[in-house]
């Protein structure tokens, strides 16, 4: 599924919760009209955060990471990512895995951090 490339680059809403990707698929960067994204990924290294952050109209982001991420998730502020993001939700098992840099999400209005232990 990670090699799949959707034929519609004008998609505005994409919710893929039934599948777990190993990482953020590279074809996500081709969805320039995307406003609302829900993904389930095993890992999200900094370069994958950058892929999502460069989506110019992304206003709503839901990320689910089952288990504990191997790398710290860093939302950078210095690179101008997530400029229009208004809603961010992260669901993972480890509360200390997330770091925000100053100015990372300047228009954020709502954040939801869900930490649920896997059994």
**What is the pLDDT, as a whole number, of residue 79?**
64
Q: Is the pLDDT of residue 102 over 90?
A: no
Residue 92, helix vs strand vs coil: strand
Q: What is the mean pLDDT of residues 3-10?
A: 67
Residue 7 domain flag: no
For residue 1, what pLDDT is reported? 47
* Residues above pLDDT 90, as percent of the chain: 37
In a domain, 29, yes or no: yes
8 in a structural domain: no
DSSP code per residue over 4-31: ---S-TT--EEEEEEEEESS--GGGGG-
Share above pLDDT 70 across residues of the chain, in percent, rounded to a whole number: 87
Q: Specify if 43 maps to a domain.
A: yes
Of 36 and 73, which is predicted with more confidence? 36
Residue 104 lies in a domain: yes
B/e letters for 25-48, b = 16+ CB within 10 Å, e = fewer, are beebeebeebbbbebbbeebeeeb
| 66 falls within a domain | yes
pLDDT digits (tens, 9 = 90+) for 42-98: 988 888 988 898 899 999 999 998 877 777 888 887 666 888 999 999 988 876 678
Q: Indicate whether 5 belongs to any domain.
A: no
Domain total in the chain: 1
Number of residues in the chain: 119
How much is the mean pLDDT over the chain? 85
Strands 13-21, 60-65: pairing is: unpaired
Q: Look up the domain containing 65 and give its range.
A: 13-115
Residue 111 burial (CB count, 10 A): 12
In a domain, 1, yes or no: no
């Amino acid at each position: 599924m990670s090699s799949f490339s959707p034929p519609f680059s004008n998609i505005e809403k994409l919710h893929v919760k039934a599948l777990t990707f190993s990482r953020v698929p590279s074809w996500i960067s081709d969805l320039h009209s995307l406003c609302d994204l829900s993904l389930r990924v095993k890992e999200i290294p900094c370069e994958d955060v950058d892929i999502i952050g460069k989506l110019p109209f992304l206003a709503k982001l839901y990320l689910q990471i089952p288990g504990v991420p191997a790398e710290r998730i860093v939302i950078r502020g210095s690179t101008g990512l997530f400029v229009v993001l208004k809603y961010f939700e992260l669901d993972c098992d480890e509360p200390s895995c997330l770091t925000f840099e100053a100015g990372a999400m300047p228009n954020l209005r709502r954040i939801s951090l869900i930490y649920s232990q896997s059994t």
